[in-house]
Every structure is written in structure tokens, then in C-alpha cells.
Amino acid sequence: MVNKCKYCGGPLREGQNFCLACGMMQHAEPIGTGTGKRGRRRAFALPATACLLAALLLTAVLLRWPAALLRDPAGTPGEETQQAGQSPTQPEPTDAPAEPTEPTEPTDAPAEPNGTDPAAPQEPGTDPAEPGEGDDPAPDDGTEPTEPTEPAPEDGQTEQGTAPEPTVEPAVEPTPEPAPDPAVPQPTVTANPAQQAVILNETARFSVKAEGSNLQYQWQYSLANEEKTNLAEWPWKNIPAGTEGYGGINGPELTVKATKERNGYFYRCAVTNGGGTAYSGNANLYSCDKKLGGGLYWTMNEKGIHFRQIAVAGSGPIPDYGEEDWPVWTDNYVTRVVIGSGVTRVGSYAFAHLEYLSEIYMPDTLTSIGDHAFTFGFQVPIYSTVTIPAGVKSIGTGAFSDCECLCAVRVMGGNSVYSSVDGAVYNRSKTELLFVPEGYAGELKVPDSVKTIAPGACRGCAHINSVTLPEGLTTIGEEAFKGCGELTEITIPAGVKEIPAEAFSECTRLEEATIPDSVTAIGPWAFSCRWLSTVHMGSGVKTIGENAFGGCVCLANVYYNGTQEGWDAIDMKDGNQPLLDADRHVKD
């Protein structure tokens, strides 16, 4: 007799109490349709069957998880995960009984663990089931895999080492000048253009001289601010051919119409041949439009509050002024004075008290410089020089006095009255030292031809530390070396007969003085120097003026080259007590 399972309806053999289909134990009574205990047991058996099926399904999922981990190292599910905006993938078929849900169509073949098609061609040496060594698995996000990219090359270079084609055309480079021929000597500029001051709308002339073969000239202009001392920063431009108001732009002399707009322009010349290019120095153009008097005009060119220039143009003399009657252009910020061709004289005090003055340009037409014409200028500590033209026949008293930073005054060759040696001014024959600018520094070696030191010749030269006087010197003028604060010793040559008043006064560091036997008189305040400690005095001295050694509080020793009787016979004026108090050494 064959019975049926009480729970699933499966066949049971006689005497069998355990159903192989559902695993439930059977009871002796036959299957019924009651609703008692047997009905309650059936209600319990149905959930148990569902739990068993769920456990089997979970086991299948756990068996598949390692493959998913291989496909996605980050731990995210592979095919089983539904990406946003993508269609869900079909579930994998399993051997376990399906849940009582809607049936799904089985796939022809199980999916590969790495999500690839086994029929697709593989790269040589790789296993379709395992990722290659060093390769990153393709993300299982439903997108097409992309080729790996190389890091972007630096500096715009491609992996082949060349830059990609530009999207914008580059600026056209200027055509380079031909390389200089080493066999051809480069030009040499031997004379530079000079500053030009002319009356408004008249013609200025700039000239250049150069040496070399096959020379070509090109004049240039610039509007650069003179406060830029680096010429490389100045924007020089060639003067275009045919520009109105210009002539000779391709020759050694440039002519320029001095318009108001060109006032202050710079000009220079580029001289070229096969060996290269040489540039001349630069020079300004000044267009003078303010009436000064007679046939003269002037202008002030301003390059900022601390950089002003005065220029005078026309024909005739600049008038004289008084010590307190200064001209209209007097300004403490003027740095340059340019006197145009045609001016014949610089009047007294004409350019006095220009403290910031550092440059003066004077023309060949100039014949005279008045008294104190440039006094109290050149106060700025800049190495400054002044050139006296060949035509100057007269330089007034104190023309360059109290110019503390004027270091040298040079006289052009051919001057019939004056000459210069190392920045000091002498007469033409160099027999008289006329004056040394106050900024002169170091040793002053007076030429052997000099016989006379003019009065005040070295007055105020605070940076002269040594003076060598020639043996043929006979005369020293008053105040000749007054205020030479760095001078430490002085030896008077044997031919000098008198040391005049204040000749060496205010030489604050003078320590030793040697006076020869030829000197008969020492003037008032001649050696009034605080630090003077030693005096060698010749036996010929007969008179010592008032305060000749006044203030010499450090005077310790006097070596008199005579007898005590001769010393007692000296006519010594008042104020020479330091000389009397010093230790006196006389011959027996």
C-alpha cells in the first residue's frame, strides 16, 4: 500500500514515516482535510519550507561573492549591483529550487567572474579568468573600458618631444641683423654730439665723428626720462626718412628744427659697417622760448620736481647779477645748465646758488665767466666736472667757489690763457696755480714749472691729504691752503720768502710744518691749527704776525734752526703764546 505525505503529497511506501521530498515526519492516521491539529501543522510547515529555500539561496550568493571581489577590488558588487540610470542585470541561475516568485529565463552560460566574454579575443599571455599582473581591473559599471593614459608631458612637449601645433599664429619676429664679419673692424666713435640750445623754431645741429671703413649712419631719438641712468632701458627709435624738420638722418651731421614739442628730446647716432654697430653718446635738444634780454632766450626743461634743466640760447652776453639779485631761473632743484652757441659771457652770479647743479655745458663762443658765476653750486655728492672752452679768456674771482662737490675743472686744448693738470687750473704756461676745485681729493702734486700759488687757490679743498710743492716755488698767496682739513703736514720750499695771512689756517689735521731759512715773515693766523704739534722754523724768520700760531693748543715742540739770540730777536706779535709755551730747541 502506498500512502501520500501529509504535507507535500509525495508518495510514501508502507511503513515509511519520513517524507524524502519535504523532510516531514508522518503520523499513523491517514491524510485528512480537517482543520484541527493537522491543519495547524500544515500552516507551520509552509513557512519552514520558505526558510529552507532562503538558506539555500543565501548559500549560493555566498559562494559567488569571492568572484565578485575579484572583479571589484573596492568591495562593491559587480554584476549583482544595479548602477543608477542603468538596466538591471539578469540574476544568475542556481541549482537550488527557486523561490515562489516569477520565473526568469536561464542564461545560456554562467557569467565569467571578471565580467568578460569568454569568446572575445584576449591579449597574449593573459588568463581570461584572472586579471593580468600590474593591470587594474576594468570597473564593472556598464561603461566601455578606456585605454590607459600617460601623464601629461611638461612644458607643452608631446611624448615625441615636440610641441603641438599652436592654435594662434605667433608674433612675427624681427629680421635679425647679419652677424658681424670678424675680418672687418667695428666702427669707433671718436666725437659725440653735444647738447644743443637754440631759439624756438631755429635749427639745431648734432654731429658725430667715427673711424672705420664703409660707415653708415642712422640717427635716433628718445623721449626717455633722464632719471633712468641705464641706457639699455631707453626706448631709442630710428628717425624715419623724410620726417619733417629733420635733415642728414643718414649722415654724420643731423639738423633738427627746434619745435616746442621736441624740447628735451635725446639724440644719438648708430654707426654701422660690416664689423658691427657703435653708438654715440646722447645729447639733448632745448627749444628756448622765454625772452631774457638782448638777443637771448631761455627755457626750463623739467623731468620731475628733482630734475630741472636750464638752457640759454641766442647771441650776446648773459647779464651780470648781484649777490642778492638772482635771475628768474634760480631754483634749488636745477641739475644742469646748458649754454647755447652764440652766448659770449656768463654774468656774475648768473647761476649762483644752484645747490643741485652737477653739469654745465658751455659753448666755444664763450669768452668770459663773471665773478661768482657758479658759486654755491655742486652741493650734491656726485663726481662732477666742468670743461672750460678754448675761447674763454677770463674767469672771474670765485667763479667756482664753495662748490663742494666739483671734483675737476678741465680746460680745452688751444686755450690761450688757461690750462689744466689733473683737474686743477693753471695759467697757460703753468707757472701759476690759479685754483683747485673744492671737491678735489687725494694728493695735489704741483708741477715743477709753477712759481706762484694764487690767493685762495686751494681754499676749502677739504679732501686734499697731501701737497707737494715744487722747489722753484717763490710765492704763496693769502688763504692759499685755508681749510684743507685732511692735510697733515706741509713743507715749504726753500725759495719762498713769506708765508702770508691765513695761508694754512683751519687745516684742522695739520700736525707738522717745516719753514725754510728763506722765509722772513709769517703772516697773521698763518698756522692757526689746533692739532699742530711740531714746527721746524728757519733761522731767517724776523716777524711772526698776530695769532700766526693762535689756537695751536697741541703745539709741543719748536725746532729753531738758529741760536737763542736769533730767537730772542724775532718780532713776535700778540696771540702766539702757544709758540712760546712749547719746548724750544735751538742751536748752541
Within this chain, do residues 493 and 549 fall inside the same structural domain, yes or no? Answer: yes
Within this chain, do residues 391 and 339 fall inside the same structural domain, yes or no? Answer: yes
55 contact partners, CB below 8 Å, separation of at least 6: none
Within this chain, do residues 425 and 529 fall inside the same structural domain, yes or no? Answer: yes
Within this chain, do residues 427 and 573 fall inside the same structural domain, yes or no? Answer: yes
Of 400, 415, 430, the residue that ends a domain is: 415
Q: Is the pTM of this model over 0.85?
A: no
Distance CA 329, CA 170 (A): 53
Of 415, 449, 480, the residue that ends a domain is: 415
Distance CA 161, CA 473 (A): 82
For cell 681729493, what's the residue?
A: 441
Q: Is residue 100, in this structure, part of any structural domain at all?
A: no
Amino acid at 275: G
466 contact partners, CB below 8 Å, separation of at least 6: 442, 443, 444, 487, 488
Give me the number of domains the chain comprises: 4
> Which candidate, 494, 567, 570, 487, places its Cα nearest to that of 527?
487
Of 415, 446, 463, the residue that ends a domain is: 415
CB 302 within 8 A of CB 225: no
- Give residue 354's Cα distance to chain centre: 29
Within this chain, do residues 400 and 430 fall inside the same structural domain, yes or no? Answer: no
Q: Is residue 278, in this structure, part of any structural domain at all?
A: yes
Distance CA 347, CA 370 (A): 5
Strand, coil or helix: 285? strand
Q: Is residue 92, in this structure, part of any structural domain at all?
A: no
Which grid coordinates are listed for 248?
A: 642728414
Within this chain, do residues 255 and 385 fall inside the same structural domain, yes or no? Answer: no
Q: Is residue 518, in this structure, part of any structural domain at all?
A: yes
Distance CA 74, CA 488 (A): 93
Q: Is residue 368, in this structure, part of any structural domain at all?
A: yes
Q: Which residues of the chain have pLDDT under 70?
A: 1-3, 6-7, 11-178, 224-232, 303-306
Dihedral sign (CA 420, 422, 425, 429) = negative
Within this chain, do residues 272 and 312 fall inside the same structural domain, yes or no? Answer: no
pLDDT per residue as tens digits for the range 433-491: 999 999 999 999 999 999 999 999 999 999 999 999 999 999 999 999 999 999 999 99
Q: What residues pair up with 198 in beta bridges, in sequence order?
A: 287
Amino acid at 108: D
Rg (CA), the chain: 55
Within this chain, do residues 411 and 421 fall inside the same structural domain, yes or no? Answer: no
Please give the pLDDT value at position 245: 96
Q: Is residue 177, in this structure, part of any structural domain at all?
A: no
For residue 265, give the CATH number of its domain: 2.60.40.10
The boundaries of the domain holding residue 267 are: 188-284
Within this chain, do residues 475 and 561 fall inside the same structural domain, yes or no? Answer: yes
Residue 337: exposed, middle, or buried by beta-carbon count in 10 A (0-12, 13-18, 19+)? buried
Within this chain, do residues 336 and 433 fall inside the same structural domain, yes or no? Answer: no
> Which candidate, 586, 588, 528, 515, places its Cα nearest to that of 555?
528
CB 474 within 8 A of CB 451: yes
> Which candidate, 339, 269, 333, places its Cα nearest to that of 302?
333
Within this chain, do residues 404 and 428 fall inside the same structural domain, yes or no? Answer: no
Q: Is residue 262, in this structure, part of any structural domain at all?
A: yes
Residue 391 has φ and ψ, to the nearest 5°, of: -85, -5
Q: Is residue 327, in this structure, part of any structural domain at all?
A: yes
Which grid coordinates are listed for 522?
A: 709769517
In SS3 terms, 416-432 reads as: CCEEEECCEEEECCCCE
Within this chain, do residues 399 and 428 fall inside the same structural domain, yes or no? Answer: no
For residue 452, give the CATH number of its domain: 3.80.10.10
Pairing between strand 334-339 and 359-361? Answer: parallel
Please give the pLDDT value at position 13: 61
Pairing between strand 196-199 and 283-288? Answer: parallel
